[in-house]
Structure 1
Amino acid sequence: MDPQTDGDGRLRHLLSLQGLSRAQLETLLRRAQGLTAHAYGGIGARHALAGKAVCTLFFEPSTRTRSSFSLAAQRLGADLLNFDASTSSTTKGEADIDTLKTLEAMGVHAFVVRHRQDGAVAMLARAAEPGTVLLNAGDGRSNHPTQGLLDMLTLRQAKGEDFSRLKVLVVGDVKHSRVARSDLHALRTLGCGEIRVCGPAALLPDDDTLQGCTVGDDIDAMLDGVDAVITLRLQRERMVDGLIASLAGYHRDFGLTAARLRLAADDAIVMHPGPMNRGVEISDEVADGLQSRVLRQVANGVAVRMAVLEALLGD
């Protein structure tokens, strides 16, 4: 049985965007857009999760995801517990499930989990008590569903709700990127007109991740006329030596520069999930340029995570 949904097909947890319907994605995106005014402060939404306890259970480092989930929970009035694996009993050998059960016993209602292992969050969801909510904040190279949602919200804000007329390019280390997998699931579900994927062959997956995509290794050709470019961070901590010859060579062959961006549509936008390796996958001029939506993605992360927490924990 899919741990993400209940017997009636309603979301119990958010583990992946794969399997969610277009209607479910659009409902979350519309609600996130409606919450943007509350995402930056104020008390207008602080009644929504009053009395609920949310724990950020992170077994990997994070800046954007952890901070925005923390703010999202607080903006909705939840009690927040930040868990740091490096200073917890996990360093003494405590199993992840025992950590979950210990915090459940304290009355925690929702766990926002980042983990280095594929499938770890789904495993915890299966072990959770009825009524406990698990939200995947990134597991291994598999899924990062709220990043996928905030990327789609950023794209909708710039280009409108009709994705059928859009050409979107995802470029870089798709093989190791949980962001890429979630973005591709969402783009397909939302009916994106053309999805292009570009990167060195050694950094492209050999499974069904690229289903329905136009794939190539000539970034100049792939940029032609696209409406949005999603550049990906080189996941050097997840790759073995030898997959790329050098960082300088990668930037030469696949880096997004101002000259290359001119090959895209005049009003094309640029996105990056962060953290950016400037001068590797993206140049300073592009990262800080007028077409960049990198900081808009960060801002949208709070609203999207508010929408997800409200959907799963709200009355």
Structure 2
Amino acid sequence: MRHLLSTGDLTRDEAVLILDTAAELAQVGDRSVKKLPTLRGRTVVNLFYEDSTRTRTSFEIAAKRLSADVVNFSAKGSSVSKGESLKDTALTLQAMGADGVVIRHGASGAAHRLAGWVDGSVLNAGDGTHEHPTQALLDAYTVRTRLGRLEGLRVAIVGDILHSRVARSNVLLLTTLGAHVTLVAPPTLLPVSVHTWPCEVSYDLDAVLPKTDVVMMLRVQAERMHASFFPSVREYSRGYGMDGARLDRMPRDAIVMHPGPMVRGMEISAEVADSPRCTVVEQVANGVSLRMAVLYLLLGGS
């Protein structure tokens, strides 16, 4: 494995290796000295063309815990805003000798393009509405830690599937790892190509909940919506929001996930967000271990 561009590229064995490595590296987080010398002398560049506090910080902490040198390149105030192309930026990074480039970009496919231009490893931290592989991996890791397995689990991914890169990455990865996925959304928030995805589709959340082990709520991405996809926030919450009553319809040990940031009161009620069955805080902590695992496997050599 040289790059991590899509969860669809991972074999089952590769995915399991990443999760197992993350489990080992998670123990580092419990020590008083949280650093390993593994990537000393390696340079990781965080190349973010879109704002992302959570993912960028997570990658930065992960790289630093492995003793890598980290360069944060925010495209907002840089030569990119002066019109420099992705290719020119890539050539600049190449000249600096970056061993790994973590990229988030608004255009689907940007990470694939970058991988063709640099010698280092490219990690896709979200490209457009296409993919977000490390989010799917940390989600799978969180489920496995909580429920002990992924094989045979029933997972519902709920909400704004159309604008979500998390949904696509999760469907591909969870299917590879033996889970059964159902997408639940209003028809207006499903991609046209959804029939080609390896999962089921439902428009009725209440019908799906009683037979679901994991519910992944998605953020409604208002910033990507340039038309009205549903009548009102209240209407959306009534059909697709997660509240206490819906939590009670799920099996007792079922969990609720959210990639963050949560819009409380819209896709998830405060009661559910603060419930012990909600894994949002764990997902953030697990994100560091998982991203350490990916950096280690891509850049560590052995």
TM bracket (short chain): over 0.9
Amino acid at match of 2:224: R
Greater fraction helix: 2
- The 8 Å contact of residues 217 and 256 in structure 2, kept in 1 or not, is answered as yes
Cα distance change on mapping 1:248 and 1:136 into 2, 3 Å: same
Structure 2: segments with no counterpart, 5+ residues: none
Which residue is equivalent to 1:72? Answer: 62
In structure 2, how many angstroms separate the alpha carbons of the residues matched to 1:212 and 1:121? 23
Q: 1:136 aligns to what?
A: 124
Contact 1:181 1:209 in 2 (8 A): no
Question: Is the partner of 2:171 in helix, strand or coil?
Answer: helix
Contact 1:41 1:75 survives alignment (8 Å):
no
* Identity score, percent: 47
Shift of 1:239: 2.0
Could you tell me how far apart the structure 2 residues matched to 1:156 and 1:314 are?
Answer: 25
Paired with 2:143 and 2:158, the residues of 1 have a C-alpha distance of 16
Matched residue SS, 1:18: helix
Aligned counterparts, 1:141-180, within 5 A: 141-164=129-152, 166-180=153-167
Equivalent residue, structure 2, for 1:228: 214
**In structure 2, do the counterparts of structure 1 residues 245 and 293 end up closer, same or farther at CA, with 3 Å as the change threshold?**
same
Task: Give 4+ residue runs of structure 1 displaced > 6 Å after superposition.
Answer: none
Number of residue pairs matched by the alignment: 301
C-alpha contact 2:171 2:198 (8 A) present in aligned 1: no
Residues 262-307 of structure 1, C-alpha deviations (whole Å, 9 max, x = no match): 1111111110001111111000000111100000000000000000
Structure 1: runs of 5+ lacking an equivalent: 1-10
Q: Which residue of 2 aligns with 1:85?
A: 75
Contact 1:43 / 1:75 at 8 angstroms: preserved in 2?
no
Residues 29, 188 of structure 1: alpha-carbon distance in 2 compared, 3 angstrom cutoff = same
Q: Is the 8 A contact 1:39 1:72 kept in 2?
A: no
- Counterpart selection for 2:229 from 233, 236, 243: 243
Q: TM-score, normalised by structure 1?
A: 0.92
* CA RMSD of superposed structures (Å): 1.4
Task: Note the C-alpha offset of 1:104.
Answer: 2.1
Partner residue of 2:91? Answer: 101
Query: TM-score when scaled to structure 2?
Result: 0.96
Partner of 1:4: none
In the alignment, which of 15, 18, 21 is matched to residue 11 of structure 2? Answer: 21
> Aligned partners of 1:304, 1:168: CA distance in 2, in Å?
20
Pick closer, same or farther for the CA change 1:180–1:40 going to 2, 3 Å.
Answer: farther
